[in-house]
Amino acid sequence: MSDSNSPPLTASVRARVGSALAARFGIDTRALALFRISLGLLLVVDLALRARHLEAFYTDAGVFPLVLHAELYPIVSHLSLHALSGDLWFQALLFLVAGLCGVALLVGYRTRLALLLSFLLLVSLHARNLGVLNGGDSVLRRLLFWSLFLPLGERWSVDALRRSGSPKPQAKRVASLASAALLIQVVLVYAVNAVFKLRGDLWLDGEAVRYVLSLEQFTILFADTVAQYPALLHAVDLLWLGLVIASPLLLVFSGRLRTVLVSLFVGMHLGMLLTMRIGIFPLISITALLVFLPSPAWDWLTARFSGPVVRMAGRLGLASRLDQLRRRSTPTASLGSRLTALRRWTRRTARVVVAVLLAAILVWNAMAVGLVSPPGGDDPAVNPADNTWNMFAPHPPTADWWYVAPGELQSGERVDAYYLSSPVEQRPGTWEMYPSARWRKYMEGFRYSDDDRSRRAFASYLCSRWNRTHDEKLTNITLSYVEQPTRFDGPEPTTQRELLVYNCSSGA
């Protein structure tokens, strides 16, 4: 009796396990569609924000000329298309191409090609100036990479309209090793960060968020208002710590529990967006969380919002235009039979690549938190702990810092070459300290590096910028940073450290 029932029982167990895994590691194609749209928007917005400092960060006239790039990063410099020329027009052209690829990804036109080009151009852009990168950039690169192996153009895309005549129905859900890799990657960001946070007393004491919002270099919008309520900040600190610790449950929960957990994460990131000056990192994090929303949540969302969207499309005349595109776009099958074998080989190769890289990131993050020893013993060539998800961990900064660059004109008059003003006597305002989060990240490196080459390049940029826009020329500048510790119950004295004295004429 038991032998006859064994195969059906085994099949039943396998079916249940398969269903459970698909529910947790599969992704609704509507989630992938909105994920694709969000990625396209992020790429375009990121380029627009970077373009404000295009000359300063990406040309030979800026703070990081190609000669210095090759000296500091001899290997990485060969991986960047942006490093082929230091001219402004060349960088602007690459920005334009990347923006067009981002728009193509947004609308889902030639989605895989747009994804591949966007990924390659983003890697190239990041490799051009590593000093301005933050954790959000690293997350965005990884989101684009794993997306290469997923059908992001399955729904809500020009590609889907072009396939409307195909007999193959639209997939409602994708459950594959690639979908699992994307979900695991997102959870790793939170889980590894949780491990580092647990090693810092300020997070465990509930004081970390209060310190972050006391730093003027990080705060915007509602930060000053929220900072007036220490008890609220204490609660937010512990809630965020609890969420990142519980982040693996994103892979365990399904249905409503997962929706609630995703909503809590999204709410916290929206709070960061409204209080912290950390670029588009919160928006990248929210985009990454979209793929966790289960199908019932998407059923509810589409039922609630599809009607208004359809009516708006009708008012704009989009419905008729899309219908014309659907009728004109007929599937081309002339090369289909000849490419079938190639496609099968590509799919098999992609599975192997995904499996190998997923194993690699798991090992890398295990080394980062100390579960696995890195190769090289006590002094490894590359330490994963220095290149992982340690945002504001194990403890946040407890002091504000800003830079001053007092200089002397030919007449002997004293000015500040950084602020393009008279010498700075008091702490500058938030937007004067750093024109953007990219500038803050770039200049943060000056404090910790003993290599004067980057500082000299920055000083040279300050001299040339002043001399281009003023009749009287700068003769020399002194680059220093000022630090002011946060003390909630007493005075906050400042200390100033000189980093470099630079002669604008000789470059010495």
For 439-458, the pLDDT digits (tens) are: 999 998 888 877 889 999 99
Q: Are residues 197 and 124 in the same domain?
A: no
Cα–Cα distance between 85 and 94 in angstroms, integer?
A: 11
**Residue range(s) defining the domain that contains residue 64:** 23-167
Helices 281-289 & 255-275 angle (0-180, nearest 10): 170
Task: Give the pLDDT of residue 427.
Answer: 80
Residues 391 and 404 in one domain: no
Question: What does the pLDDT read at residue 315?
Answer: 59
Rounded to 5 degrees, φ, ψ at 38 are: -65, -40
Q: How many CB atoms lie within 10 A of CB 70?
A: 13
- Gap between the Cα atoms of 211 and 399, Å rounded: 8
Within 13 Å and on the Cβ side, how many CA atoms surround 188?
24
One domain for residues 201 and 230? yes
pLDDT at residue 270, rounded to an integer: 97
pLDDT(381) > 60: no
Write out the two tokens for 264.
């809590």
Cβ within 8 Å of residue 411, ≥6 positions away: 472
Dig out the tokens for 281 from the structure: 């990192």
Q: How many domains are contained in the chain?
A: 3
**Better pLDDT: 245 or 373:** 245
Based on the fold, state whether residues 387 and 409 are members of the same structural domain: no
Residue 311 lies in a domain: no
Q: What pLDDT is stored for residue 334 in this prediction?
A: 47
Residues 409 and 391 in one domain: no
Predicted local confidence at residue 391, as pLDDT = 87
63-70 — which CB contacts under 8 Å span 24+ positions? 63/442, 63/454, 63/457, 63/458, 63/461, 64/128, 64/129, 64/131, 64/454, 64/457, 65/457, 68/453, 68/454, 68/457, 69/128, 69/129
Region 306-322: mean pLDDT is 55
- Inter-residue contact 464 to 439 (CB < 8 Å): no
- The tokens for 435 are 């024109």
> Which domain-ending residue is among 150, 167, 184?
167
* Whether residue 434 is found in the same domain as residue 451: yes
Does residue 9 belong to any structural domain of this protein? no
When pLDDT is cut at 50, 70 and 90, the band that residue 10 belongs to is: confident
Alpha-carbon dihedral 298, 304, 305, 308, rounded to 10 degrees: 160
pLDDT at res. 121: 98
312: pLDDT confidence band, cut at 50, 70 and 90? low
Does the pLDDT value for residue 326 go beyond 80?
no
Beta-carbon contacts of 297 under 8 Å, excluding residues fewer than 6 positions away, are 259
Domain-located, residue 40: yes
Which pLDDT does position 285 carry in this prediction?
97
**Is residue 117 pLDDT above 70, yes or no?**
yes
Of 167, 192, 218, which marks where a domain is finished? 167
Looking from the CA of 240 toward its CB, the CA atoms found within 13 Å total 27
Question: Would you say how long the chain is, in residues?
Answer: 508
161 — pLDDT class (breaks 50, 70, 90): confident
Say what the pTM is: 0.90
- Rounded to whole angstroms, the Cα distance separating 61 from 50 reads 16
Residue ending a domain, among 112, 146, 167, is 167
Averaged pLDDT of the chain: 87
Pair 229, 362 in one domain = yes
> Using one digit for the tens of pLDDT, what is the confidence trace for 23-54?
889 999 999 999 999 999 999 999 999 999 99
**Cα separation, 181 vs 204, whole angstroms:** 31
Both 238 and 370 in a single domain? Answer: yes
Average the pLDDT over 166-174 and give the result.
Answer: 72
Share of the chain above pLDDT 90, in %: 64
Residue 322, in any domain of the structure: no
Together in a domain, 361 and 250:
yes
Residue scoring higher pLDDT (10 or 297): 297
Share of the chain above pLDDT 70, in %: 88
Q: Do residues 229 and 360 share a domain?
A: yes
- Residue 423: its pLDDT value, please? 87
186 in the same domain as 117: no
Please indicate, yes or no, whether residues 379 and 463 belong to a single structural domain of this protein. Answer: no
- The rounded distance, in Å, linking the Cα atoms of 507 and 476 is 9
